[in-house]
Amino acid sequence: MPQKSETLHPEVVSLVTGHFHETAGYASWRQHGTRDWLLIATLSGSGRFGGAGGEFVTRPGDLTLLRPGTCHDYGAGEAWELLWTHFHPRPDWQPWLNWPEESPGLMRLSLAEPVIRQKILTRFRDAHHLATGALRHRETFALNALEEVLLWCDTQNPHSEQARLDPRVLLVMDHLVRCQAAPVSLGELGLLTGLSPSRLSHLFRAQIGLTPQQFHEGQRLQRAAQLLELTARPIAVIAAEVGYENPFYFTLRFKKHSGLSPRDYRKEHGGS
């Protein structure tokens, strides 16, 4: 990279955000990087990034993440619309910040899935609007929105466990969580994914370690445990709410799952 004048960067307590529309000539050069993390989303046009390992160009849907202390050089193509934030991550965010590297400390995700891209960019815009708004706790609101950005990014990060799951398996998991109380057949799930019931069952078990039916029941019984802990609803009502018409059968399945009957579980976990 050619030597340039060092670009100043803000002093960041928790986060600082911006939404820029730049043209050719816009550039930033920091030989020693920043003391915070920097996340940049390309909304339109293109941006050029350079680091110790060379250069690359970002296109709409690309997110670039820079670790603290990373030497970097970036600028606009003919036009570049970008959202950015300098931030200090919460401690539990660290596992979500291991993205594919273009060069040491300079990372990129390309968001190919339109629905996920829209979720991420919408929440990124929300983070900016909150951070620059008038709310008393605007930085905390903005950090919460940024946390969701990073969580969705983790689903697209090839280095994460979440992204290693087949999209069809994720689709089935989401459907089963949303339809906890309803009976669901393998045939219905096969239609949802475009797979035969046998192929879907094999794929799901290979990736999750459970059949779809076992996963579904586990979700229903976890929800039942929450309701036993947090409410005073009768056990028969809870059974029906999570999809068991027969309270006796619900008791048998719950005891097999947790080792306790619903009544004993409620007593042990301090339910209302």
Q: What is the pLDDT of residue 51?
A: 80
Half-sphere exposure of 92 (CA within 13 A, CB side): 5
CB-CB contact of 101 with 24 (8 Å): no
Kindly report the length of the chain: 272
pTM of the model: 0.68
CA dihedral 112, 115, 120, 122 (to 10 degrees): 130
Tokens of 114: 């339109």
DSSP 120-180: HHHHHHHHHHHHTSS-TTHHHHHHHHHHHHHHHHHHH-TTSTGGGS-HHHHHHHHHHHHTT
pLDDT for 113 equals 84
Tokens 């993440």: give the residue: 65
- The answer to whether the CB of 200 falls within 8 A of the CB of 190 is yes
Report the pLDDT value the prediction gives residue 172, as an integer from 0 to 100. Answer: 92
Q: How far is CA 226 from the centre of its chain?
A: 24
Q: For the residues of 129-146, what is the DSSP string, one character each?
A: HHHTSS-TTHHHHHHHHH
Which domains, from first to last, does the chain contain? 15-156 (2.60.120.280), 167-268 (1.10.10.60)
The rounded distance, in Å, linking the Cα atoms of 29 and 150 is 25
pLDDT at 1: 45
Tens place of pLDDT per residue across the chain (272 aa): 445 666 766 677 899 999 999 999 999 988 888 899 999 999 999 999 988 778 899 999 999 999 999 988 999 989 999 999 999 999 999 999 999 999 999 999 999 888 889 999 999 999 999 999 999 999 999 999 999 999 999 989 988 877 677 888 888 998 998 888 888 899 999 999 999 999 999 999 998 889 999 999 999 999 999 999 989 999 999 999 999 999 999 999 999 999 999 999 999 887 55
Nearest to 25 by CA among 54, 47, 52: 47
Count Cα atoms within 13 angstroms, Cβ side, for 205. Answer: 10
